[in-house]
Amino acid sequence: MDLNTIIGFALIGVILVWFSYTRPEPETIKNSADTEAVVDSLNSIVNSQAEGAQELENSSELVDSSTYTQQSIQKFGLFNSALQIEGKEEFFTLENNKLRLVISSLGGQIIKAEVKNYQTFDSLPIELIKLENSQWSYEMQAERIYSSKGLFFKGEMAGNKLTLSAPHSSGQSLKIVYSLEDESYALHMEVKAAGLGITQSGFQWDMDALRQELNLEAENQQTGLYFADHEKNKVDNLSLTGQDSELHENLRWVAFKQQFFSSVLVAQDKFTKVELASLPLESESSTKRMGVRMRSTDDENFAADWYFVPNKYSTLKEYGYNMDELIPMGWGIFGWINRGVVINIFKWLESYGMNYGIIILIMAFLIKLVLFPLTYKSYLSMAKMRVLKPEMDELNEKFKDKEAVKKQQALMELYRKAGVNPLGGCVPVLLQFPILIALFRFFPSSIELRQEGFLWANDLSTYDSIYNLPFSIPFYGDHVSLFTLLMTLSTLLYTYFNNQMTPQNNQFPQLKYMMYLMPVVFLGVFNNYASGLSYYYFVANMLTFGQQFGIRYFVNDEAIHAKLQENKKNPKKQSKFQKRLEEIAQKQQESANRKTRRQ
């Protein structure tokens, strides 16, 4: 436990935590040649209105819809009858056991998308789309620009299929067809504009992501605009923290992703020339404003599927297109561990219908059981270093700091003769780090834990508050999470007992106190995290206590000391690593001697 060891562990911890929050830059699917065309802000998308709809709003004059005079065509265009259709706005409902969708005859827009079997933190229905937070339009270029937003449609229902028609002066109609299958979160949409003289068309969609969760800060951190390229479905996203906008070519899908729910638009073929933009909102009811504007490959038809879906790994995996990457499982080895191991264990335990708190407890036990050989090896290595402590102290006293190189050589020789690897206790611990970081990403992203209670925690996917403070403490928050307190206390106790069993460096006695700093930092960080995560770490600490006391009962320091003394009589062959260290130390000593002679 010298200074270099402490610094090394601190740097490794910082790197791993940084990796858990970031991911490598994926292969770009951006069209750098069009960067000047990228929108400056989301407002340019949200506030852009079609010319035809704007003229209708500004006009109070009614034109006879039964005739198409040159005057009416000049004023209202070839969709005159659709603009001036008589009657009130109608609403149509498509519903199955997963979704309830309401569509308006004005613009043919989805004005409500409710995900069934889920509720908000304040027990309201989960509505990803509402009339006031979302709008979309199909834009057409003919003799002028038209927007479906300004048209009235006539609707015909046939089961869970809705056909909307807006009459055109040619005798044809602009049609929007919606169909909802049973047992599905997918809504198929097809816009048909054949025979209307359309030379160019596009689609515009913008939405304010409504708040659904108790922890607004955590929800905001995981809300953003995601998208995938057409060829490999490689997933990328705009900035999750600030305002951002980009222009892309040939995308397969775009998604307005929230912490536990997503609204995804998947192209039947691909979207071309897609503008994307997002910006954070300082609101208690919304998190981010996101918008897209895109060209379709067929100017007379636009086909896509809407997915209003919970961010459940198995569900998104089933729908394909790499949509499961909307769930932040971590990149690289962390994602592999979560997808290949943790999710399967979790799903297997979930199939027994147990409380999720019990599932987390069993998961911690199973993982500790699998890692026990590493834990045992780490403890055994520390025990060997502990029984060698008196001999190490003698060498430290003999050589002092003036002969640091000779002291290092003597220590390496001691390790070689006794058959001890000074890094033996570190390597097993580091091998366990990827699992710890993987679980750090898994629990806060698991919708299965959402609004599932255990003991005093009402929702394992967010913090468990046993007391709300009348003020907010910087880096801590305005509430007290009991699972976080228990985790912190157990970590401090683990650090204390670990220090008792580990040989300390008498030259730097203050270093042992630095080991107590990290749990205090965790107290502030985890206070706003998912209580399921803090609970897991607390259980893991308690299981580690049990393992170490059990190992300590069966492992005898005197027997280890006798074994090491026996090893000295038949020392192991010097390893290449040890030989290299001695060569480096020898060169340093020679360099120091030459410097002394010159002086």
Name the residue ranges covered by the structural domains of the chain.
3-19+337-390+413-564, 34-326
| pLDDT tens per residue, range 457-505 | 999 999 998 888 888 888 788 888 999 999 888 888 877 776 665 555 5
| pLDDT tens per residue, range 420-444 | 666 655 666 677 778 888 888 898 8
Q: How far apart are CA 485 and CA 174, in angstroms?
A: 61
Mean per-residue pLDDT over the chain, rounded: 76
| pLDDT tens per residue, range 574-596 | 555 556 656 666 666 666 666 66
The pTM for the full model equals 0.76
Domain 34-326 -> CATH class: mainly beta
| pLDDT tens per residue, range 290-336 | 989 888 777 788 889 999 999 999 999 999 999 999 998 887 888 88
With contact defined as beta carbons under 8 Å apart, do 287 and 223 qualify? yes
With contact defined as beta carbons under 8 Å apart, do 20 and 441 qualify? yes
Closest CA to 442 of 522, 331, 343, 534: 343
With contact defined as beta carbons under 8 Å apart, do 528 and 463 qualify? yes
Q: Is 356 helix (H, G, I), strand (E, B) or coil?
A: helix
**CA triple 83-84-86, angle to 5 deg:** 125
pLDDT score at 418: 63
Q: How many residues does the chain have?
A: 599
| pLDDT tens per residue, range 267-278 | 988 888 889 998
Q: How far apart are CA 418 and CA 563, in angstroms?
A: 8
Write the DSSP string, 404-417.
Answer: HHHHHHHHHHHHHH
